[in-house]
Each structure stands twice: as structure tokens, then as C-alpha cells.
A and B are shown apart, each in its own frame.
Chain A
Amino acid sequence: MATEYVDAGSAIPYATLSTSVGKAPPVAQGVTYDRILNAREEPQNWLTYYGAYNGQRYSPLDQINASNVGQLTPQWVFQAGNTGLRSGATTYAWEASPIIVDGVMYVSGWDGQLWALDATNGQELWRYRHASPFDVSLCCGNVNRGVAVAEGKVFMTTLNAHIIALDAETGRKIWDKPFGDVRAGESATVAPLVVKDMVIVGSSGGEFGVRGHTDAFNRETGEHVWRCYMIPKPGEPGSDTWPADGEAWQRGGANCWITPSYDPDLNLLYYGTGNPCPDFDGGVREGDNLFTDSGVAVDADSGEIKAHFQYTPHDLWDYDSVMEHLLFDLDGQKLAAHFDKNGFLYILDRTDMSPVRVVPFVDRIDWGEVDEKGNVTPKVYPDKEGDPVHFWPGPAGAKEWTHACYSPDTELLYVPVQDVGATATRRRREFKESIPYWGAGVAVDADDQTGYVSAYDPRTGQERWRWTSPKDLCMCSSLLATGGGLVFGGEPSGEFNAWNAESGDLLWQFQCGSGHHSSPSSYSVDGRQYIVAPSGWGGWAEGFLPKMLGSGHGSALFAFALPE
């Protein structure tokens, strides 16, 4: 006689089979808009993506300084690992910028993962994992760049283009809104930004011929507030920069996959927009193709475009301009600094986005000439079908999305630089929804490249110092400036470095075991300063560093401090 089935019960969350506590202290309850507005008045915390709305990635903390940084040691390591068959299983990378609120760290990983950690010891307090479809379209890896925190909630985007709000104490989901169409090739990797009563996000998918947009949601209810498309429809301002009788605008790209900076006085969000689509075949999209490859100032309340500056009109090189706009005031001027993939540093008047100064920041540039006001004369580009064309910088850009920083102490900008070219061979193809739409075959130079970290004076555009990668590797980790006179950043080969902010001298280094393609933060708890760095190589490595494509993936978060 057959026995009854053994009762296996109900499935349980994986976190219950770990030391995860399941609850965090209610520190996020008190994170109001006013506190985020004045985030740098709380140097112990890192309340928003760039540390502050101005995008400077500067921490005033000065306990760790040039005289003692040599004693810096890891205090704890958090490791994530991988389970089962996941979307982008081979391309995952740890690209986030950790947020820290009064001793609790909120950090996202790849594949819909988010953790709350005790910032003093790495103890997991809770976790959330959003199930990502295995077949979601990802141009550039299974990645996520971070979270936002406000008034008891943690906000994160998911690979399948949802914005979710979680209870900051438990990690339980409060609301969930899709804002992109995965059937069209859209996805999301951006770290949200809280502004006023809204949470602001943007879409990815620029290699799949989508129409880039940014969206605002009410952070309490999840109600949609506004959407701003970065490609105008026929009849809208800028539509005359697209073919009048074509369909190109419908697939034009200009995605907003990096968090904007924000000027609360001007009430403007400063976006960098992505490449036009198809990336390399301009013949199907004659014109300047606004607002691709642009710095775009958007009214935070209405989502209306108020001003713009286009860095690379009619892009034929895949020169996204998504990277940050660093906001600072100098000599009475309200400025924005932007290091573009096209190899030029732009200092703009951020009240109207007019150029103040334009200078190159990478040694090898031959794609075109750009004058001191940003006017472009293209020189080398894929033009004829099947004709290979080599150009510098390649589509990796002279700088990746990873962020530069600015120190108000030194009044210098610090930038990670990639000096690498590529060959593109134009291959026209029909557009089909959700299928990659590049218009060329591209091979990035694997053997001829180098990278450096440079300091620039925004007043003159002069390079003040340069540290060159001893392994001749492109530098593609975000940088962090501190009140201790230091600049921190990682190398693709795993070293995490501290440089003297004044001289560029390398003062300290620790090998984390896997490359850095993330954004380190700094915080303090009980008077002790920490530097936290996610380490986990991967992402679009074939695009920016093919000679490191075979490097081991990692999944470790390192917190460094001085000995007690």
C-alpha cells in the first residue's frame, strides 16, 4: 500500500536560511527631503547617490588623511555570490554606490538584489531580491547602480524596468510600478534620485532602438507624476534635427541611464543622455539628433526641458553623454562640469547650459575637432558600408559612466580616463523591435590602451596632475574625494587606491581580488570613518576593456578604516 506523501510544507525565503536578521533600525524614517538637500551637513552619512545633489562625490570626512592613510585596513567584507540560472549570468558586475544612513548601509547588487547591512560590521540586516526575467534585453551587463532612501522607504529600479519602494526596516515591498517596455528592449539600471516628494528614474535600452525617457513617481504612493522623452516627436522643439519624413525619431535612443544631479535653487535636474540609435549608422537619421549625447536641464516639477547643450551632434561613434554633471560655483559663476565619452571636458554655465570652456582630457583623439565653444568638426567616422574605420576614443569613450569627483578644498576635478580606440565597420540593418540596432560591427583595441587618473583645474582647463596605470589599463571606477585631502578609486585589476588630492601621489593600495567598476562612498559611525568599495568585475567589459574580459568576477564589498 502506497504511503501518503510526506508533507514538505511551504517554500520559505532563502534569507531565512542565513544569518540575515530580517530587520533594520528605523534610521531611514527621518530622512526627509530637507536632510537630503543639506546632505553634506551630515558628513557621517551618504544620503543620496552622489553624496549630495551637486554630483560632486565629495565627503567632508577627514579622519583618514594623507599622513595616516597608509594604515588603512579592511574592517569587514560582505560577499554576495550567485545562485541558479540568472539573467546576464556571465555579465554581472557590482556597480553600485552604497547609501549610508546613521550606521545602516543600503546597497544594491546585480539581478534585482538589495541588502541592508550594519555599516560597522557588514552583518546582513535584510535582503530583497526582485526576480528578473532570464531573457530581459541587456546591452551592457546585469548591473544596478544603487538605491535611494527617504522617509522610511528604499527605492530601486529592476532589470525589467520597474521602480519599487521597500520598507526600509524590513525590506518588504510597498509599491511597484513598471516604467519601461521589456518587449521593446527597455530595461533599467539607474540609481533613483529622490527630489521633493518624488522619486526620479530613467530608462536603459539605447542599443535596442528605443525612445529614451526619464520618469518621476510620487514616492509615497507610486503614482506617476511626469515623463520626459529625450527624443522629440514631430512638431516638438528639436524635432527638426531628425528626418522630417522618417521613422528615425521613434527609435532614436537618448536614454537616461545615469542619475542626474540637481540644483535646488534653479529647480533643474541635469541629465546626460545616451547615444542615438543606430549607434554608428547616421545615414538613417540625418540631422543633429537632439537630445542625444546632450546635457539636458529638466524642470524638476514639470519634467519640461529648459535648456541643453549637445556634446556630439549627429553621433557616429557611440559617444553617450550619460556621465555626471558636477555642479559647483566658482568666482560667482554657477557651473557644471562634464567629462564626455568624446574625450573633452566641458565647463558649462548651468543656468543656460552655454559652454564656458572646452578642453581635451585624453591624449588620443582623432574622431573630430572640437573648438573652445564646443563646435564640432567630424574627421574620422564610419561612412561607407563595409569599410572598417579606426578612431580614438572608441565607443568605450575616454571616460565610462563611472564618475569623476570634485573637491571644494582643492577646487580641482578628478577624472578616471580611458585611452583606447576601436574599429567600426558600418553594416546597415533593418530595425526590428527588441533586436540590437547598432548599424556596425565593432572591435575595441585590446592590446593598445592605457588609462590614468587626472586632476583638472576648472578655471583654466589645465591638467594639474596625472597618475598612469602601471598595467596600462583603462581606469573605469568612480572616484571619491574627501576632506582628508585624498582621492579614492579602484583599478580593473582589483587594486583599490588612495591618491594625494594635491599631488596625485599614490599613497595606499589594497588588492580586493576583483576589478572595480563601481562608486565608493565614505561615512562614519561613532566617530570612525570608513571607505566602502564594491568590488566585482564584469559588465560591458568587451566594450571598454576587452583585455580584461577573462578576469574573474567577484562579488565583495570592502569597508576600510584606520585601526582603533
Chain B
Amino acid sequence: MAATAEELLGKQNGATLGRVLGRGSVGEAEEGSDGTMSATVRIPEDELVYEPGVLVLPHGGVLELTLINDDKNTHCAVLPSNGDTQFLWLVNHSKGTATLELDGPGYYWYGSTTGNDEGRGLTGAIVVQGDVPDEARLDRPPQPQV
């Protein structure tokens, strides 16, 4: 039976050369009692993808991120954070951490900037939920939304 489009887009050298961005599973960060969030992202063997591909945070703040490279090739992670972009080199079979400060709401991309990892699929998203504080919002009645 022929592979479905879903199967072909979600793998290396299927319909495309790499893996179409924004795919992969959705994972959620855990929140500690002090509001600090934590999560683990892995790079599975030969998939050239961060897993989960979309990491969801309940709100803005500090994320303690563990990154594990289970692949048999070297990659990295160039990550957004208030202050400066954060860089972590991830040789084959390695494990490291990153402390990220991100505002919410909105979402951010990060990626492996070696070779064209970014284009092959190693571009992940961090989604930050929530709203801005009341004091930053407009003084007007609730408005219609999409």
C-alpha cells in the first residue's frame, strides 16, 4: 500500500528531502511550585527533528530545558531567550541544559544551525500561553475575536 501524504511529510527523504517544519508531537512543560517550568526535548536517531516538535508552556517566565541528542550525528540548539540567544553544542549521544526566559503570549522558533539542519527538520517551536497583565491591556470592553 502506498504511503500517505502524512507519512511522507513526516520523515526524511519522503515527499520532500527533509521533514516539513512544524511537525512532530506536541509536549507540555511541567511547572514547579515556584512557577519555574521544565521540559525535556530529544533528537531521535535519523529523524532530524526535535521531539516534541512543539513545546507548550502555560505562561511566560523561566524554562529549564534539557536537550538530549540520541542521534548518531552532531547537532546543536540555538534558542531564544531574553538577554541573548542561547547556544548549546550537542555532539552525538550528548545531553545538556538551557535556561530560557521568554515572554508570553506568543511562540518562538529554535533550531540546529549546523549544516542545513534547520531546513531538514531540526527547527522546533516553543509556545507560550497566557495573557499580558491587566495593567498593560487596553481600557475598553471585551472585543469580538475570530
Binding site for B on A (CB under 8 A): 3, 5-15, 17, 83-86, 127-136, 160-162, 172-173, 176-184, 186, 209-211, 213, 224, 229, 233, 247, 250-251, 430-435
CB A351 to nearest CB in B, in angstroms, measures: 30
In the complex the two chains form, what is the Cα distance from A11 to B94 in whole Å? 13
Interface: B46 (CB within 8 A): no
Per-residue CB proximity of B14-52 to A under 8 Å, as 1/0? 000000000000000000000000000000000000000
Q: Which residues of B contact A210 (CB under 8 A)?
A: 138
Check if B140 sits within 8 Å of A211, measured CB to CB. yes
Which residues of chain B from 105 to 132 have a CB within 8 Å of any chain A CB? 105-111, 113, 118, 123, 125, 128, 131-132
Check if B105 sits within 8 Å of A182, measured CB to CB. yes
Give which listed residue, B85, B99, B136, contacts A161 with CB less than 8 A: B136
Q: Which residues of A contact B88 (CB under 8 A)?
A: 8-12
- Given the interface pairs A8-B89, A84-B113, A135-B106, the reply to whether A224 lies near B135 with Cβ below 8 Å is yes
Q: Which residues of A contact B138 (CB under 8 A)?
A: 181, 184, 186, 210-211, 213
In the complex the two chains form, what is the Cα distance from A493 to B6 in whole Å? 45
In the complex the two chains form, what is the Cα distance from A133 to B102 in whole Å? 9
Of all chain B residues, which has the CB nearest A186? B138
- Given the interface pairs A84-B113, A434-B145, the reply to whether A179 lies near B84 with Cβ below 8 Å is no
Q: Which residues of B contact A247 (CB under 8 A)?
A: 141
In the complex the two chains form, what is the Cα distance from A127 to B85 in whole Å? 10
Check if A133 sits within 8 Å of B128, measured CB to CB. yes
Of all chain A residues, which has the CB nearest B90? A8
Check if B109 sits within 8 Å of A84, measured CB to CB. yes
Q: Which residues of A contact B13 (CB under 8 A)?
A: none
Check if A14 sits within 8 Å of B78, measured CB to CB. yes
Give which listed residue, B94, B105, B128, B135, contacts A7 with CB less than 8 A: B94
Check if A250 sits within 8 Å of B97, measured CB to CB. no
Binding site for A on B (CB under 8 A): 67-69, 77-103, 105-111, 113, 118, 123, 125, 128, 131-133, 135-141, 143-146
Check if A8 sits within 8 Å of B86, measured CB to CB. no
Check if A6 sits within 8 Å of B139, measured CB to CB. no
Q: Which residues of A contact B87 (CB under 8 A)?
A: 11-14, 17
**Interface centre among B83, B99, B113, by most A CB within 10 Å?**
B83
Check if A179 sits within 8 Å of B136, measured CB to CB. yes
Given A85-B109, A129-B84, A224-B135, 12 more A-B residue pairs with CB atoms under 8 Å apart are A3-B93, A10-B88, A14-B87, A83-B78, A84-B113, A127-B84, A129-B85, A133-B108, A178-B136, A181-B136, A431-B144, A434-B146
In the complex the two chains form, what is the Cα distance from A132 to B106 in whole Å? 8
In the complex the two chains form, what is the Cα distance from A8 to B89 in whole Å? 7
- Given the interface pairs A13-B83, A84-B113, A85-B111, the reply to whether A180 lies near B97 with Cβ below 8 Å is no
CB A445 to nearest CB in B, in angstroms, measures: 33
Check if B146 sits within 8 Å of A13, measured CB to CB. no
In the complex the two chains form, what is the Cα distance from A86 to B69 in whole Å? 24
In the complex the two chains form, what is the Cα distance from A130 to B143 in whole Å? 29
Check if B95 sits within 8 Å of A6, measured CB to CB. yes
Give which listed residue, B96, B102, B133, contacts A178 with CB less than 8 A: B133
CB B106 to nearest CB in A, in angstroms, measures: 2
Q: Which residues of B contact A10 (CB under 8 A)?
A: 88, 96-99
Q: Which residues of A contact B86 (CB under 8 A)?
A: 11-14
Check if B106 sits within 8 Å of A136, measured CB to CB. yes
In the complex the two chains form, what is the Cα distance from A327 to B67 in whole Å? 56
Q: List 24 A-B contacts (CB under 8 A).
A: A6-B91, A11-B98, A14-B84, A14-B85, A83-B85, A85-B123, A129-B85, A131-B100, A132-B106, A133-B106, A134-B125, A172-B83, A177-B136, A179-B136, A180-B132, A181-B136, A182-B106, A183-B131, A211-B140, A224-B135, A247-B141, A250-B141, A432-B146, A433-B144
CB B45 to nearest CB in A, in angstroms, measures: 13
